[in-house]
Amino acid sequence: MTYQIQTGIRNLYYQNRKPFKGVIIFLFIALYFAYFGYAMYYSFGDEPSWRLLGFTVFAMLFISGRELMQYNEHRLEETWKLSIRPCLDSANCKKSRRISSVLLKIVVAGAIAAFVVIDVIIDHPQNLISFAGLAIYVVLFYISSVNPSKIRWHPVFWGISLQFIFAILILRTRAGYDVFMWCGDRVTEFLNYSTAGSIFVFGPGYAEHNFAFKVLPIVTFFYSIISLLYYLGVMQFIVRNIGRFLAFCMGTAPGESLNAAGNILVGMVLTSLIMLFFPKTEAPLMIQPLLADMTVSELHAVCTGGFSTIAGTVLGAYINFGAPASHLLSASFMSAPAALAISKLSYPELELSTSSTKDYYKMGKAKERNVFEAVSVGATNSIKIIGAIAVNVMAFLSILQFVDATLMWFGERVGYGNITFEFICSYLFYPFAFFMGVETGDCRSVAGLVGIKTFVNEFAAYEKLGKLIDNNKNFTMYTQSLNFTDWYKDGDDIILPMVNQTLTSGILQTKSVVISTYALCGFSNFGAIGIMLGGIGALAPSRKTDLSRIMLRAMIAGNAACLMTGCISGNKEYVLKMTMKFFHRYF
């Protein structure tokens, strides 16, 4: 009897699954909006209420957009083919688009030039050095291009212009900077929840082993969230729309535009690590279905974008080292169009692309069956990622220590025992630091950081930057809070005699800290070449030959995109004032 009742209820549910599902969704939405309405009535105007409003608006846009595409995809496609596409392909429309494109470029170039004259040349002429740095990178990559005659200047112009426009909106306007400062605060607040798991597993003394028990668990926590968002389709929704925007502005193919958008949130190099360790797992690489049919230029753009940004999963690690979260977030946004621009300079399109607007809907989909499996798979996949990060950091730092000891030994043989790898890099990369607008006194320190990031990895570089930020804090406390003035320099070190403390490698000015944060924000190092080659090669085995041919060029281009972002970031005095507020708040 009981079994028959269960069978009847089950059959009733399966026969009327859609109506049941619709009723449940309707009830859930009704309950949520009842809560939302009362919450807005109860308290409106403070930060949490605005946060709730923003979340609700985004959720409505996401759900309505997904439902619209699900039920009207064929109708929209037919409208595009029968009405919009023929109009766009007509001779008159093409002529109008060409004229509009030229006029828009003139307007944008004129606006940027006016801003440079008013905001830079008149008030801060020394910042023209940074713009000279941008011009130098464009010239160098034009000269070293695979085929300079094939370069399309449209994506190059708009890539650099978008980078500059993002910089103005994010760094120059108070509203833009406050938005990213708010986002950075929320990210920091969100990542701090990972401490609950660390305390439960490792005990309350987990912070004594900062990197292993505090930094690396953040990767697990964040990757689980990314996996959940990927399962729900939120990641695809965000990436698709950012990618469409980049493609519309720059005229780039869907695959490379989606990749640039995805790198802002996920990052290519850590995804490549997943494919190395979990080759049979559905990794959250959204452009995987497009890789096999990409042109070499598009593949180069994909790799360059991966090298020029960091993954959201390691964002917490860099924040823990002392890098401001707001600057890390804005660096990823600013580097994405710059990477596309510099990639199209370095390796212009030499083939006929087969991409189409349908590629926006070919992004990989999650195979998990429910949210719990998605979270579990994300956490499980992070295990070997954490192991890879830990052993790479241990190996590279140990090798760096050995190289430093070896160089010092050779130097002592000729009476100069202060030669280290960082010392050599401080001269080798000095021009790069100088043309980013770094103050002359800090150029060698910043150049050393860029060298460590390029030859070792960005973890070591940010760890070093974190120590310099701590030095700034201790020096400020010594000279301002304690009002001591009897400090002195011993080489690059600063000695604080009244507290018997040595600030190894000295300090950095706030402007140099900001520029370094932006310039180091990318996976462009020699170790990442192997990771990228192995990871993308696992996704598209037929493209391994092409990948091996372009990977070094892509790494150099990705590094240049990061340095270009550093050039722009150091131009804004307003940013420096806001950054000082950040350090006073958190340090």
User: What confidence tens digit (pLDDT) does each residue in 70-99 have?
Assistant: 666 566 666 666 666 666 666 777 677 778
* Position 274 in a domain: yes
Please report whether residue 90 resides in a domain.
no
What DSSP line would sit under 460-503, residue for residue? Answer: HHHHHHHHHHHHHHHHHIIIIIS-----EEETTEEEEGGGTEEE
Task: Tell me if 553 sits within 8 A of 155, measured CB to CB.
Answer: no
Block residue for tokens 């060698």: 444
Tell whether 360 is covered by a domain. yes
Strand pairing category for 501-503 and 493-496: antiparallel
Domain that holds residue 381: 127-390
pLDDT given for residue 362 in this prediction? 67
Q: What's the pTM value of the predicted model, to 2 decimals?
A: 0.81
Predicted local distance difference test score (pLDDT) of residue 118:
77
Q: Is residue 245 part of a domain?
A: yes
Task: Supply the pLDDT for residue 238.
Answer: 82
Contacts of 252 (CB under 8 A, 6+ apart): 155, 246, 260, 301, 340, 344
Query: Does residue 120 lie within any of the structural domains?
Result: no
In whole angstroms, what is the distance from residue 65 CA to residue 311 CA? Answer: 26
Q: What pLDDT score was predicted for residue 313? A: 63
Residue 267's pLDDT is what? 60
Between CA 385 and CA 391 the distance in angstroms is 10
Q: What is the DSSP string of 258-279?
A: HHHHHHHHT-HHHHHHHHHH-T
pLDDT of 199: 84
* Number of helical H runs and strand E runs in the chain: 25, 3
Q: State CA 9 to chain mean position distance.
A: 50
Could you tell me if residue 42 is inside a domain?
Answer: no
The 493-496 sheet, strands edge to edge? 488-490, 493-496, 501-503
| CA pair distance 578, 586, nearest whole angstrom | 13
Name residues of the chain where pLDDT drops below 70.
1-3, 13, 69-90, 94, 266-286, 312-313, 356-364, 570-587
- How far apart CA 334 and CA 164 sit, in angstroms, is 8
Instruction: Count up the domains in the chain and report the number.
Output: 1
Task: Report the alpha-carbon distance of residue 540 to residue 543 in Å, rounded.
Answer: 6
Which of these, 344, 348, 347, 342, lies nearest to 560 by C-alpha position? 342
The residue with tokens 């939405």 is 29
In 66-151, DSSP assigns E strands to: none
Residue 261 maps to a domain: yes
In this structure, is residue 404 part of a structural domain? no
What is the pLDDT at residue 453? 92
User: For 331-373, how does the pLDDT look when each residue is reduced to its tens digit (9 = 90+)?
Assistant: 888 888 999 999 999 999 888 877 766 666 666 677 788 888 8
**CA-CA distance, 381 to 403, in Å (whole number)?**
33
